[in-house]
Structure 1
Amino acid sequence: MKTLIKNGRVIDPANKIDAACDVLIEDGVIQEVATNISVTADEIIDATGLLVAPGLVDIHTHMRDPGFEYKEDIISGTRAAAAGGVTSLTCMPNTNPVNDSCAVTQYIINKAKQQGSANIYPIASISKGMKGEILAEMGDLKEAGCVGFSDDGIPVTHGELLRRAFEYADTFSMPIVTHSEDLSITGSGCMHEGDVATELGLQGIPWVAEDAGTAREIMLAEFTGGRLHVCHVSTKGSVDLIRHAKARGVRVSCEATPHHFTLTDEAVRGYNTNAKMSPPLRSQDHVDAVRAGLADGTIDAIATDHAPHHYDEKNVEFPVAMNGIVGLESLLPLSLRLVADGLLGLNSLISLLTVQPATIMGIDRGTLSVGAVADIVLIDLEREWTYTAESLHSKSKNSPFLGWEMKGAAVKTLLAGKVVFER
């Protein structure tokens, strides 16, 4: 089957394309990207006034499947991804059972292939059961289809175990993906330590908890020569540490989330549990540092940390509420604000959402190269809409952005040339 996308503005940072082009797809594979393609096609998609880009790649999500399907599952999660223009995502291992085995990995991959609306690439746990005691079987997990290793929100406190994890993962050309935090400093904190926490009477989490974890993991990566990816950087200290580590050749990459470059800890006022997350929303000086890190290239990718939770898990006292927000369907419009603010050019933003995250995880996606799988998103940069609970495709609705007026939306998402979402 041949599909022709005509009259769009094609942006493909991997191939340095930003031009009015057509895209020809045959049997789910890109055959040509050029001006005025003239060919008989089974389907013609008119992209007049639209941006045509590689499908977005989100390298930090929680699909909650297996084990917590009441919050999200692979079907609903990938449907939300497609609605947000995301065609490929990695999912964290904090499922039940934990993804520390080939059986769980293959379950996730097979369910996504059979019933999903996006590609899923599992991240396996560093340690068995995410207990931080014994390394998982990294070689077997890579062979099963995993693309990285992480104990997700539970930092590996055992230094020697983490050292060995870097060494073993590197033999398989895999990254160690970390939630960088010193939990002994975090203590019982539940939001950023600062004026807002003091006024609300909530125990704070000081910025140094993240910085200490980031510093330790950078040093271990430097010592072992392994590859480190730091999740959801949120402090100016972490951004500086990563910037300096890159300058001296450490193999480190990192990501930022839309909530950490859009909101401050002011969003917690009213004890808003939808603004409770880990790492917490920070003060304006830290937000400014994350934005600067995106602008100067220190931060390599934008990822959502999509973390669905049931209403009852958020409708409790702030200190005991679950951490996290849903983010797949707000990823694109919130990221486009960086362009509207003059912080990034559109090409740079698309790169942060496509080829750069794909490269970090070794995923063969994020480009419109001839011969590539035709994962494509058509974006209306001018589309204005309201982000509401009713509009979300995710099972869970926990977001501090509910009610926000958004600009920019995915209007058509193609997975291997097949339309999986249309607005």
Structure 2
Amino acid sequence: MTSSHPPLLLKNAWLVDPATGHEERGGVLIEGGLIKALGPAVAAPEGAEVIDCGGQVLAPGLIDMRAFIGEPGAAHRETLKSAGEAAAAGGVTTIVSMPDTNPVIDDPAMVDFVQRRARDTSIVNIRPAAALTKGLLGQEMAEIGLLREAGAIMFTDGARSITNAQVMRRALTYARDFDALIVHHVEDPDLVGQGVMNEGEFAARLGLPGIPREAETVMLERDMRLVRLTGGRYHAAMISCADSADIIRTAKAAGLPVTCGVSINNLALNENDIGDYRTFFKLSPPLRDEDDRQAMIAALADGTIDVIVSDHNPQDVETKRLPFAEAEDGAVGLETLLSAALRLLHADLISLPQLLRALSTRPAEILGLPAGRLECGAPADLIVFDPDAPYVLDKRQLRSLSKNTPFEEARLEGQVTLTLVAGRIVFDRRST
């Protein structure tokens, strides 16, 4: 990024490379925005800046494949600048922004606008996803080739599902020819109906209409058959239940070009957290029961689930301070993604390299990015964090413009100390 900067040595760190699973004590030397050298014997050249990491973890920065950002059209909820600041504080060095904006990102000029605006205002990398269908209406396919040429990193209708199987088939076929990635929100709106939370005993007790798991699995099953028919690269944006994990597992075993993600909310929370109609827990897909949450953790551990996303979706008081059934879906998550994910590590449910692989390496591989690994020549998009640092989340301290976090006043462990993008320090907790 800037070869004019002197070399930087991050020493006395616990190096974790999720790409290989290798862990060791050592340091990383950064020059010209890239990793120049690393390991236990790396030394600082003359004139280099040296930072002692105090034994904390040094790993690739997180790559979040699903973040809704208000700009353009709803900058009062979140801007590219504020999203970048929140991401840096949470250790996220690359964000994929969803096309659900106003106007929709379904035109090469809009892709270019987001890229330019992000370059000018954001301290982290922001890569735009383009709409899969024009206007996100699910009827007419967007210009995948032109949008990809303009810089769109993947194609999705964001929080909307494509119910027309012919449109999805056509999109997967075109995507195959352009080697583009289709990302789909798997939720049949007709089966969702008026549902607002997971269908089951708890919803009945609260008197709220439920969303059956079949709203997810029926759509996912259809998509697997279309992938088999077309050969297009497909990523299920988020799954939330055991049956969906089984569907993905079967598709992968059959050799289909399929990957999937899970929201950190469906890993760290369940439907009981909704409690007394707490709207910050109204999400899509909804929080499921504890059995499904455990199934998601197991699917993550065995590699069925590839990535963890924040599903960052800023909402303001006008859209959240409403009766539960009327409130909008969504929660902010960029700043708490790592801390919430570390709950799985502290519960001995997954290893640190496995966890970081789902947060960094696999997203990079799926998106075709050179980041997500500790190796010479890789971009110096890095984080230093203390996985055991305890804190209680105060939403007023969040850098996001919106404060709709489901982790308000939660006890969390794991705080980012340093975040670097292309070798430049963009967040330093030591100075805050």
Common fold: TM-score over 0.5: yes
Alignment pair present for 1:106 and 2:112: yes
CA distance in 2, matches of 1:78, 1:63: 10
1:176-325 map, 5 Å: 176-325=182-331
- For structure 1, which segment, 227-236 or 41-50, has the greater mean C-alpha deviation from structure 2 after superposition? 41-50
Give the match for residue 22 of structure 1.
27
Give the match for residue 36 of structure 1.
41
Q: Secondary structure at the match of 1:237?
A: helix
Structural RMSD (CA): 1.1
Alignment pair present for 1:87 and 2:93: yes
2:169 aligned to which of 141, 157, 163? 163
- For structure 1, which segment, 366-375 or 77-86, has the greater mean C-alpha deviation from structure 2 after superposition? 366-375
Query: TM-score w.r.t. structure 2 length?
Result: 0.96
CA distance in 2, matches of 1:309, 1:364: 32
Give the match for residue 3 of structure 2.
none
For structure 2, the residue ranges without an aligned partner over 5 or more in a row are 1-5
Instruction: Say whether the 8 Å CA contact 1:196–1:269 is kept in structure 2.
Output: no
Give the match for residue 330 of structure 1.
336
CA distance in 1, matches of 2:386, 2:54: 10
CA distance in 2, matches of 1:303, 1:69: 22
1:10 aligned to which of 1, 7, 15? 15
Letter in 2 for 1:162: M
Instruction: Say whether the 8 Å CA contact 1:271–1:318 is kept in structure 2.
Output: yes
Instruction: Say whether the 8 Å CA contact 1:355–1:367 is kept in structure 2.
Output: yes
CA distance in 1, matches of 2:397, 2:10: 27
CA distance in 1, matches of 2:337, 2:263: 8
Residues 90-147 of structure 1: per-residue CA shift (max 9 Å, x gap): 1110000000011111111112212111101111111111111111111111111111
Alpha-carbon offset, residue 40 of structure 1: 2.0
Alpha-carbon offset, residue 173 of structure 1: 1.1
Give the match for residue 372 of structure 1.
378
CA distance in 2, matches of 1:18, 1:333: 20
CA distance in 2, matches of 1:404, 1:16: 30
Give the match for residue 75 of structure 1.
81
Identity of aligned residues (%): 40
Residues 125-178 of structure 1: per-residue CA shift (max 9 Å, x gap): 111111111111111111111111111121111111110100111111111101
Q: Secondary structure at the match of 2:156?
A: coil
Alignment pair present for 1:62 and 2:83: no
Instruction: Say whether the 8 Å CA contact 2:24–2:39 is kept in structure 1.
Output: no
Q: Secondary structure at the match of 1:23?
A: strand
CA distance in 1, matches of 2:295, 2:42: 44
Give the match for residue 55 of structure 2.
49
Alpha-carbon offset, residue 37 of structure 1: 2.1
CA distance in 1, matches of 2:361, 2:274: 34
Alpha-carbon offset, residue 368 of structure 1: 2.2
Letter in 1 for 2:297: R
- Decide whether aligned partners of structure 1 residues 306 and 48 sit closer, same or farther in structure 2, where only a CA change above 3 A counts: same
CA distance in 2, matches of 1:382, 1:189: 38
Aligned residue-pair number: 423
Letter in 2 for 1:264: N
Alignment pair present for 1:136 and 2:132: no
Q: Secondary structure at the match of 2:397?
A: coil
CA distance in 2, matches of 1:399, 1:191: 17
Give the match for residue 340 of structure 1.
346
Alpha-carbon offset, residue 15 of structure 1: 4.4
Alpha-carbon offset, residue 16 of structure 1: 4.4
Q: Secondary structure at the match of 1:322?
A: coil
Alpha-carbon offset, residue 390 of structure 1: 1.4
Residues 237-281 of structure 1: per-residue CA shift (max 9 Å, x gap): 111100111111111101111110111111222111001011101
Alpha-carbon offset, residue 305 of structure 1: 0.6
Alpha-carbon offset, residue 220 of structure 1: 0.7
Q: Secondary structure at the match of 1:253?
A: strand
Alignment pair present for 1:148 and 2:144: no
